[in-house]
Structure 1
Amino acid sequence: MAGPTRGGADGPLDDDAVQARWAEITAHLGELGTPPAPTGEEPAPTPPRAPSGPRDYAVDEDEDEDDGFEPPDPGPVRATDPVVVLGWAAVAGSLLALIVLPLAWSPLPGLVVTTVIAVLVAGAGLLLWRMPRSRDDDGLGGRGGGAVL
């Protein structure tokens, strides 16, 4: 598809044709007036219109917007279980070691590979062992997965 060109189907337009076309387009606009210069007088207040939508309302400055609501203080940040942190560190560290050690240590001894894989399996086993046994143990007291108000 060809892009826009300056000319029509007959070829490029000359300046007189462009001026004539511009005059034709702007003739349909009518008179464009400029706003009146300020005279120092305040304009007459416009009468209030009837509300017609959800945002057509006046805000009462005297009314307290939150009606005295104070959000509750957040509870203490729960400390993580050190055993779970140890399991994640073992899994992540051993995976990182399996990537970095072959690059840094060219003839990688089999004992090192075996040890890293053992740490990986132990960390994954620890994380699986610490998983909750049922879905009822979600801290909601058996109320399901809905919102707590």
Structure 2
Amino acid sequence: MADYYGYLWSTTWPNLGVLFLIIGVILSRLVWKFVTTWRNARHVWGFLLLSLKMVIWVGVLGVYTQLLLFSQPDWFAKPGLIEGTVQGKSFDTASNIYSVDIRSGTDQTKLFIDFFVYQRLNIDDHVKLMYLPIRREVIRCEIVSSLL
């Protein structure tokens, strides 16, 4: 599990950092506005205006959070685990993507791998893989048995 979230963090830390920065700035501004409204203008209109600002900023935070979840949906999914035999591997020259086909029982799954895993794997190797379930990127590859 640490591999899974470590990989997600390594690929999305800029997005998460900006999101946490935005949340921190907005929350600190709202707290500051509440304190100044409480000290200076203890009338209903000041708090109504502050409530309206809070609703708007919560909406902005919701939009930023949704954008993160649309771009990185694997944060709230369980890691995919598969054990099977390598049926094929391929390289798409147009998009520079390495992929591998794994047969587990009657199911065949296509996953995306990096160059080093692509070089290590051979057809008919028995492997255990952990991958991102939505993006289908392999995080950890363990070769259980190899014919070579």
TM-score w.r.t. structure 2 length? 0.31
Higher-Rg structure is 1
Larger RCO (alpha carbons 8 Å, 6+ apart): 2
Higher helix share: 2
